[in-house]
Amino acid sequence: MPAFERHVFVCHNARAAGAPRPSCTADGTSALHTRLKQLTNEAGLGAKVRINKSGCLDQCEHGPTVVVYPDAVWYGNVQAEDAEAIVAEHLVGGRPVERLRIAETCLNAASCPHRGSL
Amino acid sequence: MPAFERHVFVCHNARAAGAPRPSCTADGTSALHTRLKQLTNEAGLGAKVRINKSGCLDQCEHGPTVVVYPDAVWYGNVQAEDAEAIVAEHLVGGRPVERLRIAETCLNAASCPHRGSL
């Protein structure tokens, strides 16, 4: 098999309490990750799509954050219950879940309504 | 700024001693990651290219493993001293470093000369 059809990175970053930027997980574990992995396997995509843990994806104010490559589709504020839509619509159906996407004006923005002005 | 021009994931996985598959790092730290980050910043690409920590990329027998998206270029057995070539040739120059690429026949292969037969 060649490269993964899709490679999904789920931020697992957990900062110490009081850190200036928020964290995507409280303790480095992610029910979202577990659910994405389970549903991907159930959909028969286990060998083609990898659900991967990642360190900080640098979109902290929009977390929990997920990025799907090679599409380069970014999702923000993703909860475990959103896993079904991501797997069914995007990973199986090929259509990104628009309601979960981080706005273009927020992605990698030094300032935005969520991040504030730096 | 929109999505990263390139997003580089460096496997930081560290298994317990005696695990059946090898690990990309001994202790979850990576001099390769540090060097890639330093050189990317020095090349003025700090805002366009993210050097990211990742969990297991599932190419353990070819590690330390790096994958560059959206190109989906996979590098194997990457040492800290390879960071210069990756940054200069690929991240700056746009040409993957062929000598570091994981062979197509090895990528995601259930068995290969490195992984053996499963």
- B47-83 pLDDT, tens digit each: 999 999 999 999 999 999 999 999 999 999 999 999 9
**Substitution target from A29, A45, A67, A68 for chain B, most B beta carbons within 10 A:** A67
Q: Give the position of tokens 């970014």.
A: A74
Residues of A in contact with B50 (CB under 8 A): 57-58
Q: What is the pTM of this model?
A: 0.96
- A60-71 pLDDT, tens digit each: 999 999 999 999
- Please tell me the predicted confidence (pLDDT) of residue B1: 59
Residues forming a β-bridge with A51 = A8
Q: What is the mean pLDDT of residues A2-12?
A: 94
- Please tell me the predicted confidence (pLDDT) of residue A18: 92
- Kindly report the average pLDDT of chain B as a whole number: 95
Residues forming a β-bridge with B54 = A54, B11
**ipTM value:** 0.95
The Cα–Cα gap between B18 and B82 comes to: 28
pLDDT above 60 for B118: no
The Cα–Cα gap between A61 and A83 comes to: 20
Nearest CA in chain A to B4: A108
Residues of A in contact with B4 (CB under 8 A): 72, 108
- B99-117 pLDDT, tens digit each: 999 999 999 998 999 988 7
In chain A, residues 23-82 whose CB comes closer than 8 Å to chain B: 47, 50, 52-58, 67, 69-72, 74
- Please tell me the predicted confidence (pLDDT) of residue A94: 97
Residues forming a β-bridge with B72 = none
Query: Are residues A64 and A54 in contact, defined by beta-carbon separation less than 8 angstroms?
Result: no
Which residue in the set B2, B4, B72 is minimally distant from A70, CB to CB?
B72
